[in-house]
Amino acid sequence: MKQSTYLICLLTATIVLGACHPKPFFAPSVKDTGTSLDYSNDGHLLFSYNYATIYPPAGVDSVFRRSGFIHPLNTLKGETLTNCSPTDHRHHFGLWYAWTKTTFQGKETDFWNLQKRQGTVRFLQFERISSDGFIATLEHVAYPDSTAETTAMTETLDIRIGDAEGKGYYLDYRTTLRCTGSDSITLEAYRYGGICLRIRPDWNDRTCNMLTSEGKDRNHADGSHARWCYLQGKAGKETACLLVVASPDNLNYPEPLRVWDSKANPPDEDIMWNFSPTKEKPFTLQPGSELRLAYRIYVLDDKIDASEAERLASDAFSIGEQLKEMERNGRH
C-alpha cells in the first residue's frame, strides 16, 4: 500500500512539474515542398529557401529566373520583410548572393544583372538538411544557355538558425566560394555585389529608419564602412527590425556598404542594401583558394538602438568560435 501511494505521488509530481515547463519559445521545423525548404516556428513560416528555379510572371523574359535564394523572410509573427523580383528590378531576389562586375577567362562576367545574359547562379544540391538549417551547393555559371556555358565558381552555403533571446531569431549565413576549374576569377571593384537584401516595398523614409555601426542613416550610408547595419519600422500591424552583422574575418572588414538612398528608386523610394566587400578594390580568387564570408542576420519583432545592436553584434562574433565549432562538427 505504501509503495502504491509512493508511485501515485511520484506520478502526480511528474505531471505537475511537466506542466510547469512551457513549450519552447523557439523550436523551428523544416518542410521540403519540392521547390523550397520552408522553415517554420509554432505554425508560422520563418523563411523559404527556394532551391527550384523560380520563373518570372508570364510575359516577362525568362532570363529573369533564378534558384538558390531566400524569400520570403518573415518575422516570428509572420510579417514579410523581403521583396522578390519586383517590376523595377526583376533580378532582385529577396535575400540573395551574387557578384556583379567580374573578369573570367578574360571577359566581363556579371552574375547579378541577369538581363546581360553573362552569368547566373544555380542551386545544385543539398549536403545537409535539418530543423536548424542546411548546407547547399550552388554553381556560379558563366555564359548560361550558350555553347560556351561553364561553371566559374562553386559555392557552399551554410545556413544555421537560432533563437535571438526571445526577441526574434537569427540566420547565420556563411558562404564559401571556390574556383571550379583551373581559371581564376577577379571580383572587380564595383559599387555593389555580394550578399544583398531587397526590402518590403512599403519601407521607405516615412515608414522605417536605418542605422549603421558608424552612425550613418540611409541617406549617408552608401559608400561608408560598417560592422553592422539595421533597418527597422512598422511591418503591417507589427514592429520589425533587420540587423545584419558582418564577421570580423570577412574580406575588407569593416565592409563597404551599398545602400539605395531615398532618391535612388522613385516613386516607391524603397530600399536595396548590401555589404559589398569589393566596392573599393578588386579581389582575385585563385584555383585552390577560397573566399569565405559570414554574416549574422537578426530578424527581430521589436525596434532596437545602437547600444542593443552593439551587444547583439558582440554576441554574434563570438560567431568565429561558433563557426570553428561547426567545422569540428563536420559542417563545411
Residue 231: closest CA among 253, 200, 254: 200
What is the rounded radius of gyration, in angstroms, for the C-alpha atoms of the chain? Answer: 22
Q: Are 52 and 67 in contact (CB under 8 A)?
A: yes
Q: Across the chain, which distance is largest between two alpha carbons, in Å?
A: 89
pTM score, two decimals?
0.89
Q: Are 90 and 84 in contact (CB under 8 A)?
A: no
Q: What angle do CA 11, 12, 13 make, to 5 degrees?
A: 90
pLDDT of 318? 72
Cell 563545411 locates to 332
pLDDT of 18? 46
28-328 architecture in CATH? Answer: Distorted Sandwich (2.70)
Q: Are 167 and 301 in contact (CB under 8 A)?
A: yes
pLDDT of 7? 47
Cell 509572420 locates to 78
Q: pLDDT per position in the chain (332 positions), as tens?
A: 555 555 454 445 444 444 444 544 799 999 999 999 999 999 999 999 999 999 999 999 999 999 999 999 999 999 999 999 999 999 999 999 999 999 999 999 999 999 999 999 999 999 999 999 999 999 999 999 999 999 999 999 999 999 998 899 999 999 999 999 999 999 999 999 999 999 999 999 999 999 999 999 999 999 999 999 999 999 998 999 999 999 999 999 999 999 999 999 999 999 999 999 999 999 999 999 999 999 999 999 999 999 999 999 999 987 455 555 555 455 44
Cell 523550436 locates to 27
Collapsed DSSP state (helix, strand, coil) of residue 308: helix
Residue 166: which region, alpha, beta or left (left: phi > 0; alpha: psi -120 to 50)? left
| 3-state SS track over 178-223 | EECCCCCEEECCCCCCEEEEEECCCCCCCCEEEEECCCCCHHHHCC
Q: Which three cell numbers stand for residue 8?
A: 501515485
